[in-house]
Amino acid sequence: MNRKNKPFESSWTLARVLLASAALLVSGAGYADSSSPASDQTDVTLGLGVGFTPRYMGANNYRSVVLPMLSIQRGVLFADSTRGIGLQWKSSTGLSASAAINYDLGRSDKNTSSRYGSNALKGMGAVEGATVADFTLGQELLPWLSVSGEAELRMAGEHRGNRYRLGFEGIAFHSDTDTVALDLDAHAGDGRYNQTYFGVSDEQSRLSPFAAFRADSGIYAYSAALNWLHTFDAHWSTAVSLTATHYTDQARGSSLVANDAEAMGMAALNYTF
């Protein structure tokens, strides 16, 4: 872990981004088209995933995770263990939108298997959980290329601010059994969000080994994710996701961040009823 007088190196990762991508692949997803007769059908997918992720955004040590997954979708309604509970819609012109209520688990100042956290954060205090509203809007530009934006807004709980994402998804390969997609995203936060996860107050600096740092609003990271979905039959499928993330100058000045770039990955086995 960096000391107060050690120059900061950067890295960023967000497991929920990876997990949400995997969950979408897991369910085979798509958004419900309101004109589709299949909108009255209920789809249920169970999955079990394993992966590796940094202990918190900016950590230089990793942990392994085991993640049970559940996705239920009926028409425009969905309930998902990673995306929350909400509505999703897609038009015949490729315009899509969704709105969901979810929960951000925050960050612990101890090693934990259930959420981000590390013993190295002793003195920083815990970031408690927060209820969030998540809104996405996307547009298919070409049959193999789409653009999307996301806003995750804090509603209750920890005053952790809001985060935003803008990105492109391209289908690199598609067949009857396999789909390979590449995601390129920019991640941003308002001043409170960036300060919560990258900033160090004077009091925190006094109690921990980290130098004081004031984080401003703006883009704090760029990421690239490679997602592969393989379908065995109408019920069984596997999903694999690898994500590489690079911090911008917005977060690089913080002694909480230990590497300029980092990677995370996950694989899941899924059954759709």
In the chain, where the domains are located:
15-272
pLDDT at 14: 38
Least confident of 36-45, 96-105, 114-123, 221-230: 36-45
- When pLDDT is averaged across residues 108-117 and rounded to a whole number, the result is 88
CA 74 remoteness from chain centre: 23
Task: Read off the pLDDT of residues 129-156 as tens digits, 9 standing for 90 and up.
Answer: 999 999 999 999 999 999 999 999 999 9
Mean pLDDT of 4-22: 39
Q: What's the pLDDT at 8? A: 31
Nearest residue to 63 via CA among 20, 105, 13 = 13
Which residue type, as a one-letter code, is found at position 227? N
Q: pLDDT value at position 114? A: 80
In terms of Cβ atoms closer than 10 Å to its own Cβ (0-12, 13-18, 19+), residue 43 is middle
Nearest to 239 by CA among 104, 50, 39: 50
pLDDT band at 112 (very low <50, low <70, confident <90, very high): confident
pLDDT at 94 over 90: yes
Q: How confident is the model at residue 179 (pLDDT cuts 50, 70, 90)?
A: very high
CATH number of 15-272: 2.40.160.40
